[in-house]
Structure 1
């Protein structure tokens, strides 16, 4: 899971750098030659700033004196960095908060230091540049960097809708918020919640053949980075399918992309939140998907594309018979 993956495992270690007194035109040539999107600016070997491809596209291209400028005059500083021990989740949070796309990884050079701060502002003597994370690398692990879910209370009012599920169980909770109870539209939200028990995990392992001991053997799992048995990632993802099944109409999956951000402990209640974010036409919709654990930590996030058909005529007759 992503909260257990440190920056050091996915960072690019071959960082392109240039001295603070180098010219801006030299930096542009360097980026083109090395086929990179940024140059980390250094002074006496220590990272002090950064110049990116975006800087050239939005600001520097409008200046007529680029050839005479030094990087120290135009670099973004102070430099936001992460430590090698920072998790992928921490890195993504910093990128989102600061609206940046490049995150140098700097190891603390102070003797005996055990600093593992997720983020910090780097000054001239703060440490050694050991790598860099960009949205490109992080997108392989967390492709939905820009998703920002609204709070449920900010969404459309709650509606009770007719569903096409075969049965429900005590302990399963479903909530739907939408402008209309018979159709879906952008902004509608479905929320489904249930506890994932040890029996659920064992049944899933048997049904799929995924008998990884991490999910089934407590002694084995205790020796892993998680320290305990955890729910299969795909089983946690299945809570999303449960929420979508309860949207108005017959929901048919076309695609699903998910990033697994944190482990889900067995016995925890998992909650899927699905928000319709785009009407793609011809009854197809893009849906932002999130699964939270009992502490509302994001376990996974992503998006799905679904086709929503009308319910078959027989389902209405079946519902009437059940009511009778």
Structure 2
């Protein structure tokens, strides 16, 4: 990875947004039509919330009328934000610190894109480990090989060091909270399924 790579260089400029006054039914239809796992709720251009399929389904199961309930009644707090001109390494640190799978990219307080943990991995973010650098690029097999190499490099100098994050073997989410289940390491969301 080049040291000068910024969030703007790798973010998704197209993202799905809804307003607080949109109905839950319209938002759910949009998520289904686009195969989205999150809608950014905006007021003007400012991100004020996030709506996931889980939020929508939970509200409907709790008795919310999809045609009458508005997004602001069921949305979650907004995803963490990151300025578009931030370095990728800073965004990676923010993802881990927030325990989030995505960041809303902002410029002058307005949402201009989305950055996911997969975007960060694909950008080849690296952290030197025990003097050795490793890059994560390309396919899931490459990610696994890079993680294995990093663990080997870390264990050479610090055999008791624990990984602070890893990737869910089902959904591919970068998280610090993996737990074993049926022979796989799963994130909290996949454990609930």
Q: Which bin holds the TM-score, normalised by the shorter protein? A: 0.5 to 0.7
* Length-normalised TM-score, structure 2: 0.61
**Are residues 143 and 28 of structure 1, via their aligned partners in 2, closer, same or farther at CA, if it must alter by over 3 Å?**
farther
Q: CA deviation at 1:6?
A: 0.8
- Counterparts in 2 of 1:270-309, with a 5 A limit? 272-274=153-155
Relative to total residues, which structure has the larger helix share, 1 or 2? 2
| In 2: Cα distance, 1:2 partner to 1:60 partner | 44
| In 1: Cα distance, 2:117 partner to 2:29 partner | 22
**Are residues 45 and 273 of structure 1, via their aligned partners in 2, closer, same or farther at CA, if it must alter by over 3 Å?**
closer
Corresponding residue number in structure 2 for 1:49: 49
Give the RMSD, CA atoms, in angstroms.
Answer: 3.5
Check conservation: 1:82, 1:91, Cα contact below 8 A: yes
Check conservation: 2:50, 2:76, Cα contact below 8 A: yes
Corresponding residue number in structure 2 for 1:25: 25
Runs of 5+ unmatched residues, structure 2: 135-143, 148-152, 164-193
- Three-state SS of the structure 2 residue aligned to 1:257 is helix
**Are residues 4 and 30 of structure 1, via their aligned partners in 2, closer, same or farther at CA, if it must alter by over 3 Å?**
same
1:257 is aligned, of 138, 143, 146, to 146
Runs of 5+ unmatched residues, structure 1: 109-126, 145-191, 195-234, 238-254, 259-271, 278-286, 289-324
Corresponding residue number in structure 2 for 1:90: 90
Check conservation: 1:38, 1:102, Cα contact below 8 A: no
Structure of greater relative contact order (alpha carbons < 8 Å, 6+ residues apart): 2
**Are residues 96 and 26 of structure 1, via their aligned partners in 2, closer, same or farther at CA, if it must alter by over 3 Å?**
same
Check conservation: 1:2, 1:89, Cα contact below 8 A: no
Check conservation: 2:40, 2:78, Cα contact below 8 A: no
| Number of aligned residues | 146
Q: CA deviation at 1:104?
A: 0.9
Check conservation: 1:2, 1:87, Cα contact below 8 A: no
User: Residues 156-180 of structure 1: CA distance to partner in whole angstroms, max 9, x if unpaired?
Assistant: xxxxxxxxxxxxxxxxxxxxxxxxx
Q: CA deviation at 1:78?
A: 4.9
User: Residues 65-97 of structure 1: CA distance to partner in whole angstroms, max 9, x if unpaired?
Assistant: 151321112222255211111122222222222
